[in-house]
Chains A and B, each alone.
Chain A
């Protein structure tokens, strides 16, 4: 099936692109910042608990931004919280990814019209990679978002972008 079953008789080399190797390593263990904001955080908890088991995608909550690869913005971002989220994002080491979970984080959601204290979309303070719609999204929807993020990471390149 794979390299492990074959058991080469001699020592061997494998030829692969550095991009593929690094991207494969990155996308297979995305450690998320264990950080819940509102209702969606409960669905995020359900996603990482039994019967959904986020861990099988290599996603594990870390409690400090300095050890995290991704941050899931799970819930309503208020104006008071927006500055803190920006700071948390800045504390994360590169490469870092952002999943915006739920309508509130995407665009303000049900608080669009009269929410005088609600930021209308977290992308106004930090750059978002994947938007997951729903209020709240089901754990399966969050998985779909994560798979999209993995797809995005798979196509990344280390090559310097020509101007």
Chain B
């Protein structure tokens, strides 16, 4: 006998411990089953495009920091690469290497937050504390270099705001040595934990064709089984010089493209980032990091689109220049915004408590969704 149930609308957020910021999810539920999920956004709309129109090119960089605040270095990176392409300037080798090192350190720090808070959402408190302990070490490296812990304004058009600290290379090598065994610690604590696997394996399965149709990029796409990484496919900066692998989801404990795979791809990516950092630290040349910074940034008329592999996926900057000192328009292709659109598809037919697991696994940052 089928039990008769009534449809109900349940609001999750904007104040909810597991929405990772100010997001409202409108759940259409029938009993415990999810019929549909509608994300409501705009609670953190901070007018990035309006600011970009009003500022000069270098002044936009601090605002890019504040979009994806877990990966500020990478947002700087994407923007300066775009403006440099628009200007057609060459950047010194040393700057390129430092940018790659900083970018990869930022990727590790971002994934640490993603993994830690994911455990927190599913009831595991300890991995969060362990990962934040290690994240502090990365933040200390950043702080010694540019003075800021979270929002750096470090990468400038044509160069960097500061050269690295004399001890930076030694300390970063120490960090790499220190952190590598700790990835195994995370695996022991969380990844292969029975309870964690029960909550995430075979939940929120995203098949590859759906992932491509929704425009997913980054770890979310790779977890569905496609080895697509812009660092390999369309190398920017000097990423073509490094040897690293692209981890993909294999369905180790469930189905390819489930929450566990999306989580585990991030764990594996931290290891690959460590490899890139090690290679870059060995090859880093001497030089001046501010020699190529233009006195006055006034690009010619035209437009440019560049994309970089942000910790969350493809971060694209589309800049239109009208020949003046401030951009006519800066459009950002934000990976979190695209990833969020898949929520409805992933949640259908799951239980209410799985929404938390699915939302955490696609790893969104609301600052970037709303901009």
B44 is contacted by which of A49, A81, A88, A138 (Cβ under 8 Å)? Answer: A81
Docked-complex contact A135 and B151, CB < 8 angstroms: yes
Tell me the B130-146 residues at the A interface (CB within 8 Å): 130, 132-133, 135-136, 139
Docked-complex contact A45 and B132, CB < 8 angstroms: yes
A115 to chain B, nearest CB (A): 5
Decide if B45 is an interface residue (CB 8 Å cutoff): yes
A54 to chain B, nearest CB (A): 12
Q: Closest A-chain residue to B42, C-beta based?
A: A80
Chain B residues lying within 8 Å of A116, measured Cβ to Cβ, are 47, 50
Tell me the A33-72 residues at the B interface (CB within 8 Å): 33-39, 41-43, 45-46, 49-51, 61, 63, 65
Q: Closest B-chain residue to A82, C-beta based?
A: B43
Docked-complex contact A80 and B15, CB < 8 angstroms: no
Decide if A78 is an interface residue (CB 8 Å cutoff): yes
Query: In the complex, A117 Cα to B41 Cα: how many Å?
Result: 13
Decide if B212 is an interface residue (CB 8 Å cutoff): no
Chain A residues lying within 8 Å of B113, measured Cβ to Cβ, are 42, 45
Q: A51-B136, A78-B44, A114-B51 are in contact. Are A39 and B150 (CB under 8 A)?
A: yes
A63 is contacted by which of B17, B22, B43, B69 (Cβ under 8 Å)? Answer: B17
Docked-complex contact B43 and A110, CB < 8 angstroms: no
A46 is contacted by which of B15, B44, B45, B132 (Cβ under 8 Å)? Answer: B132
Chain A residues lying within 8 Å of B54, measured Cβ to Cβ, are 113-114
Query: In the complex, A88 Cα to B149 Cα: how many Å?
Result: 30
Query: In the complex, A34 Cα to B135 Cα: how many Å?
Result: 21
A43 is contacted by which of B22, B66, B150, B366 (Cβ under 8 Å)? Answer: B150
A42 is contacted by which of B45, B47, B70, B129 (Cβ under 8 Å)? Answer: B70
B129 is contacted by which of A49, A78, A115 (Cβ under 8 Å)? Answer: A49
Q: A37-B21, A42-B113, A110-B62 are in contact. Are A117 and B47 (CB under 8 A)?
A: yes
Q: A38-B367, A51-B132 are in contact. Are A84 and B51 (CB under 8 A)?
A: no
Q: Which size class do A's interface residues fall under?
A: 35 or more
Docked-complex contact A38 and B21, CB < 8 angstroms: yes
Q: Enumerate chain A interface residues (CB-CB to B < 8 A).
A: 33-39, 41-43, 45-46, 49-51, 61, 63, 65, 75-76, 78, 80-81, 84, 88, 110-111, 113-118, 135-136, 138
Q: Enumerate chain B interface residues (CB-CB to A < 8 A).
A: 14-17, 21-22, 42-47, 50-51, 54, 62-63, 66, 69-70, 113, 117, 128-130, 132-133, 135-136, 139, 149-151, 366-367
Task: Kindly list 16 other residue pairs between chains A and B, CB separation below 8 angstroms, not including A39-B66, A39-B367, A78-B45.
Answer: A38-B69, A39-B69, A39-B150, A42-B70, A45-B113, A51-B133, A61-B17, A78-B44, A84-B15, A88-B15, A110-B66, A111-B46, A114-B47, A114-B51, A116-B50, A118-B47
Write 30 A-B pairs (CB below 8 A) sorted by A numbering: A33-B15, A34-B17, A37-B21, A37-B22, A38-B21, A38-B46, A38-B66, A39-B151, A41-B21, A42-B113, A46-B149, A49-B128, A50-B129, A50-B132, A51-B132, A51-B136, A78-B45, A80-B42, A80-B43, A80-B45, A81-B14, A81-B43, A88-B15, A110-B66, A114-B54, A117-B47, A118-B47, A135-B151, A136-B151, A138-B149
